[in-house]
Amino acid sequence: MKRAKEALVLILAGGVGSRLNILVQKRAKPAVPFGGIYRIIDFSLSNVMNSGLKKVGVLTQYKPLSLMNHLGMGEAWDFTGRSRGVTILPPRTGEKESDWYQGTADAVRRNIDFLQSTPAEEVVILSGDHIYHMDFDAMIEYHRSKDADVTVGMMVVPKSEIYQFGAGIVDKNDRIIEWEEKPKVPRTNLASMGIYVFDYKYLLDTLIRDKAEIDFGMHILPRAIAEDNVFAYPFYGYWRDVGTIQSYWEANMDVLKKESGISPQRWQIRTNIETEGQIADRAPARFGAACQLKNCMISAGSNIQGSVINSVLSPGVVVEEGAIVKDSILFEDCIIKKGAIVDLAILDKRVQVGANAIVGFGENYKVANLLKPSHLYTGITLIGKGAKVPPNQKIGRNCVINSNITEAAYSGQMIADGESLFADGEVS
């Protein structure tokens, strides 16, 4: 009997993820911190590890340095040894330097030499930017039981959201008989999770036969459904694509809710605690006598003297006396000075909010960001890596403060709802 452990895993981790705005200004989307101590890619890697799969290739492209540092040699996920390993596959350009991966299938095709040098029974293809818990061993066994050429992980989503996904129509045996990529008028509520199991030889033949097929959802799956055996693998657990600011914030807030279905600890999600700034060398968190905590996650190395409510704090965050952090996500080593308020905001690493400043000022959540209205429209304000907010400064809703902004860049004491501040002091 074939063993599922013989499968090869490819994790697509090269996307720009532009809808995450300044959170991906200096890092790849899968490397964005999540849930206090994790990064987004930790979930895919841990699912692979917990499924007993041993050989992994990670396809990188956009600003891969922090992601590569985080992956290391794969020790954190037990991908070291004679029979196991993680291989980082750097960008493969075409004839022009600007000719990067044109789609998901094109990315795999340009690494076909890795596929050919790593024979397997099946190839599992994953995205590195989803939050979920899944047994790939069971999916591979399902794939074999159906004698499938391709198996697609799929789940039911509200029809109002199906326009964001590939959608499949199945028969009574779960064979996919029709496919719609991001349909505007959906005929099904069954959405693709971006998780595929391919027969190894079938994938190689598919990649070689037509180089114009550059995307799995747009090109390869529709043709395979028409000509070959493609099945849907039903999934019923927690899964979220955190490709937007809103979905990213909601998934972090789900970590704080017992009934949400997400539990990194129960799912046995691992991270690289040796990454610079992570928890390996951090002291335990400290809590002052007057601090107030409610429904929050506080990571190692933090010093909390003020109030933290319904928020997720990464290692090394300081909240001084009288300061309030509410409904927010703070990355490593942020400092919130005395009397400051951070309300419904995401702060990247090493942000400093001055005394009595307010990030998330006012109650008007309806003015979307003027530059990126599709990114910020629910009141969330973003502060970029290393930025400083002056004392007594007020920053409204749906604002963006760019990375490394200094106090001198602020021309007044108010950044209005929907405005963005750049390094030269220009407000838009």
One domain, residues 188 and 332: no
Q: Is residue 17 part of a domain?
A: yes
Counting residues of the chain whose pLDDT is more than 90, the rounded percentage is 73
Chain segment 239-276, per-residue pLDDT in tens: 999 989 999 999 999 999 989 999 999 999 999 988 76
Are 213 and 78 found together in one domain?
Answer: yes
Burial class (CB in 10 A: 0-12, 13-18, 19+), 190: buried
* Triad 380, 386, 387: Cα angle to 5°: 55
Q: In this predicted structure, what is the pLDDT of residue 337?
A: 98
Residues 374 and 336 both lie in one domain: yes
Residue 172 predicted with pLDDT over 70: yes
Report whether 243 contacts 19 (CB < 8 A).
yes
Structure token pair of residue 183: 């349909």
- 51 and 146, same domain (yes or no): yes
Residue 106 located in a structural domain: yes
Q: Given this model, what pLDDT does residue 359 score?
A: 98
The reply to whether 426 falls in a domain is no
Q: Give a yes or no: residue 278 inside a domain.
A: no
Q: Residue 133 above 70 pLDDT? A: yes
155 and 294 share one domain: no
In a shared domain, residues 364 and 250:
no
- Specify the higher pLDDT residue, 64 or 263: 263
Domain termination residue (choose one: 212, 243, 260): 260
The per-residue pLDDT for 280 is 75
Amino acid at the residue 235: F
Task: Give the pLDDT confidence of 184-212 residue by residue, as tens digits.
Answer: 888 999 999 999 999 999 999 999 988 88
Pairing of strands 239-241, 130-132: antiparallel
Task: For residues 180 and 307, state if they share a domain.
Answer: no
CATH number of the domain at 201, please.
Answer: 3.90.550.10
- Given 260, 294, 315, which residue is the final one in a domain? 260
Task: Report whether pLDDT(95) > 70.
Answer: no
Count the domains in the chain: 2
The domain of 116 spans: 4-260
Are 124 and 254 members of one domain?
A: yes
Q: In what order do the strands lie in the sheet with 388-389?
A: 286-287, 303-304, 318-319, 335-336, 352-353, 388-389
Do 129 and 47 belong to one domain?
A: yes
Query: Do 194 and 291 fall into the same domain?
Result: no
Whether residue 217 lies inside any domain: the answer is yes
| Domain CATH number, residue 325 | 2.160.10.10
Verify that 292 and 253 share a domain, yes or no. no
- Centroid of chain to Cα 399: 22
Between CA 213 and CA 208 the distance in angstroms is 10
Q: Residues 18, 151: one domain?
A: yes
pLDDT at 162 over 70: yes
Is residue 269 in some structural domain?
Answer: no
pLDDT of residue 393: 98
Segment 278-322, tens digit of pLDDT: 677 899 999 999 999 999 999 999 999 999 999 999 999 999 999
pLDDT digit string, tens, across residues 333-383: 999 999 999 999 999 999 999 999 999 999 999 999 999 999 999 999 999
Q: Over the stretch 213-223, which tens digit does the pLDDT of each residue have?
A: 899 988 999 99
**Position 279 in a domain:** no
Q: Lowest mean pLDDT: which of 2-16, 58-72, 310-324, 363-377?
A: 2-16
**pTM of the predicted model, to two decimals?**
0.93
In a domain, 268, yes or no: no
Length of the chain as a residue count: 428
Among 214, 242, 260, identify where a domain stops: 260
Taking alpha carbons only, the member of 355, 410, 404, 407 closest to residue 384 is: 404
Q: What is the mean pLDDT of the chain?
A: 91
